[in-house]
Amino acid sequence: DSGHNGALAWHLTVEQTAAEYASLGNEYLRTRSADVREVGGRVLLNLLGHAVSGDNLNRPGILIATDIGLGEIAHIDPKVVLGICTGQGGATSHTAILLGNLGIPAVMGLGDRLSTIGEGDMVIVDGDKGTVIAKPSSEMLDDYQRRLEALHAERDQARRESLALAFTRDGKWVEVVANIGSTAEAKAATANGAEGVGLYRTEFLFLARQIPPGEDEQFSAYRDAALALEKRPLIIRTLDIGGDKFLPYLRYEAEANPFLGVRGLRLSLQHRDIFKTQLRAILLTAAEFPVRIMFPMVTTPAEWREAIALLSEARSEVADRGVYLPPRIETGMMVEVPGAALQAEQFAPLVDFFSIGSNDLTQYTLAAERGNAALATLADGLHPAVLRLIQYIVEAAHRHGKWVGICGEMAGDAAAVPLLVGLGIDELSMNAAAIPLIKQLIRTLDYSAMQVLAKASLTLETAGDVRALVMEQVSGE
């Protein structure tokens, strides 16, 4: 009637329908407007002939996209999608983290430069360096082919040795564990030589559904992950929602700055039923397996105490059912907020361990959002300001006899590991695919030399300077 083409007519109708849902009085129905838009968007892509789905990707290649949502990653098969380039996003965004777990090389935040790549072009994606080469010369292609073969040979060798512990040349053990978000990743962790799990991101269980998973469903998921670890320790992080992750069923006020808003533990403390259900499911798992608990985004000692009080209520509820729980279940906090890092001395007596969430600690320290492509160079955990905070946390923890892990992306970054070892980090938690090579790297390092290197890096000006120093000193070893 209006003379629009099919795609525009569809789009306008979807928007109108979504707006009608959004204006309803019932909270549940109101949040369904997002579902209408999501389905509408998929149909629109089909109408425009741009649909991207697992079915369309039927031969191996490189996927080029403006952006990839967390939900879309579920459709990606690593055998078909050999590499990914996106216009938006950053190296520590949750999308990048999930792709890393799948072992898919990805370079994000390329902006307009993506438009120079055409359908069917030959492309080299170097995920280690963060570079993309479109239409490479045949010499370059040969060179990369050789490097890829050498990398595969090095990986095979590293994988064979990955089950052994990693000691520095002068005998310091550095525990190497995995970050997981599912049971499949727990299996990959074990196969790659993880000595346990340093971070189980439980929020992936809660995403892409209409109601939160109940206690039984969560218990069964945590138990499956623990079983896959064959008695190795498992650190389960409680729900970290907010920031770039939303749940339609949690009442959530719109926020101007979600990363600075009601996120992580703050949100759990506002939704005590959901929080305690999760704590009970974790405790039930801890009754059978070596489980530790950690809370995300802790900012003040008062929040920590509140979380511990709820944990102890959950404990009594589980114990009242006649379940035997180990008397001591190690409980730690993630250090992701600079203010909490600077109060490490106050937190250390309260906690059993610290785990540094360097992705968030970096974005908050440098006021550079982790998913913002324009700030990718600034949001680098090797910035001396971030390293100083890490040093401060480690020193405070060790003074109180507590151990410190790091579970942000820098734990699996070969340029960061020499410094983290030098700063005295006890445990590195990373995506499973990175474990074999990082263990090999640790075996080449000298702890006392890394202490000197770490100290020198603190006095530099930029993350780039620090990277250059590490390259010069460590590759020369």
Query: Min. distance of Cβ 26 from ligand PEP in angstroms?
Result: 32
The token duo for 12 is 């306008």
Contact letters for ligand PEP, residues 283-322 (x by CB under 6 A): ----------------------------------------
85 as an active site residue: the answer is no
Classify the C-alpha dihedral 182-305-410-448 as positive or negative.
negative
SS3 427: strand
Quickly count: other Cβ atoms within 10 Å of residue 248's Cβ: 18
**338 counts as binding Mg ion under rule CB under 5 A:** no
Say whether residue 413 binds Mg ion (CB under 5 A).
Answer: no
Q: Segment near ligand PEP (CB under 6 A), from 9-17, 99-107, 354-362, 456-464?
A: 354-362
Nearer to Mg ion, 159 or 245 (CB): 245
CA dist 35 and 33 (Å) reads 5
Query: Per CB under 6 A, does 201 bind ligand PEP?
Result: yes
Q: What's the CA gap between 346 and 343, in Å, rounded?
A: 5
Tell me which of Mg ion, ligand PEP, none is bound by residue 439, counting a contact when its beta carbon lies within the kind-specific cut-off of 5 to 8 angstroms.
none
Dist. CA 28–CA 210, nearest whole Å: 9
Tokens of 341: 């890092």
Q: Which of 11, 94, 271, 383 is catalytic?
A: 94
The verdict on 195 binding ligand PEP (CB under 6 A) reads no
Q: Which of Mg ion, ligand PEP, none sits in contact with 408, Cβ below 5 to 8 A by type? A: ligand PEP
Q: Which of 360, 369, 409, 426 binds Mg ion (CB under 5 A)?
A: 360
202 binds ligand PEP (CB under 6 A): no
Helix 215-228 and helix 272-286: axis angle, to 10°? 40
Q: Is 409 or 446 the residue whose CB approaches ligand PEP more closely?
A: 409
Taking the least distance from each CB to ligand PEP, the nearer of 83 and 296 is 296
What x/- string results for residues 178 through 217 when contact with Mg ion is judged by CB under 5 A? ----------------------------------------
143-172 b/e with 16+ CB inside 10 Å = b? ebeeeeeeeeeeeeebbeebeeebebeeeb
Question: Quick check: 206 and 213 in contact, CB under 8 A?
Answer: yes
Picked from ligand PEP, Mg ion, none, the partner binding residue 182 (CB below 5 to 8 A depending on kind) is none
| 407: contact with ligand PEP by CB under 6 A | yes
In the complex, minimum distance from the CB of residue 427 to ligand PEP, in angstroms, rounded to a whole number: 13
Which residue in the set 303, 336, 369, 427 belongs to the binding site for ligand PEP (CB under 6 A)? 336
- Collapse the DSSP code of 241 into the 3-class scheme (helix H, G, I; strand E, B; otherwise coil) and give the result: coil
Closer to ligand PEP by CB, 70 or 308: give it. 70
Please name the residues in contact with 176: beta carbons below 8 A apart, sequence gap of 6 or more: 166, 193, 194, 195, 427, 428, 430, 435, 438, 439, 442
- Residue 405 to residues 25, 38, 178, 271: CA-CA distances in angstroms? 46, 38, 11, 28
Binding to ligand PEP in span 362-401, by CB under 6 A: none
Give the count of alpha carbons within 13 A of 407, CB side only.
Answer: 29
Residues 6+ apart with CB under 8 A from 54: 75, 76, 77, 80
Question: Taking CB under 6 A as the rule, does residue 240 contact ligand PEP?
Answer: yes
94 is catalytic: yes
Say how far apart CA 434 and CA 181 lie, in whole Å. Answer: 16
* 8 A C-beta contact, residue 45 and residue 72: no
**Binding window for ligand PEP (CB under 6 A); candidates: 158-166, 223-231, 356-364, 444-452:** 356-364
Among ligand PEP, Mg ion, none, the one that 407 touches (CB under a kind-dependent 5 to 8 A) is ligand PEP
Considering only 175, 303, 360, 413, the residue that binds ligand PEP (CB under 6 A) is 360
The answer to whether 411 touches 437, Cβ cutoff 8 Å, is: no
Q: How far is CA 475 from CA 56, 114, 423, in A?
A: 43, 32, 19
**Cβ of residue 158: shortest distance to ligand PEP, in angstroms?**
23
Residues that contact ligand PEP, how many (by CB under 6 A): 10
Q: Which of 242, 357, 381, 405 binds Mg ion (CB under 5 A)?
A: 357
* Nearest distance in Å: CB 405, ligand PEP: 10
Q: Which is nearer to ligand PEP, 193 or 198 (CB)?
A: 198
474 binds, among ligand PEP, Mg ion, none (CB under 5 to 8 A by kind): none
| DSSP-derived secondary structure letter, 289 | S
SS3 of residue 35 by DSSP: helix
* Residues identified as active-site: 94, 407
User: What residues make contact with ligand PEP under the rule CB under 6 A?
Assistant: 199, 201, 240, 336, 357-360, 407-408
Residues at the site binding Mg ion, with contacts judged by CB under 5 A: 336, 357, 360
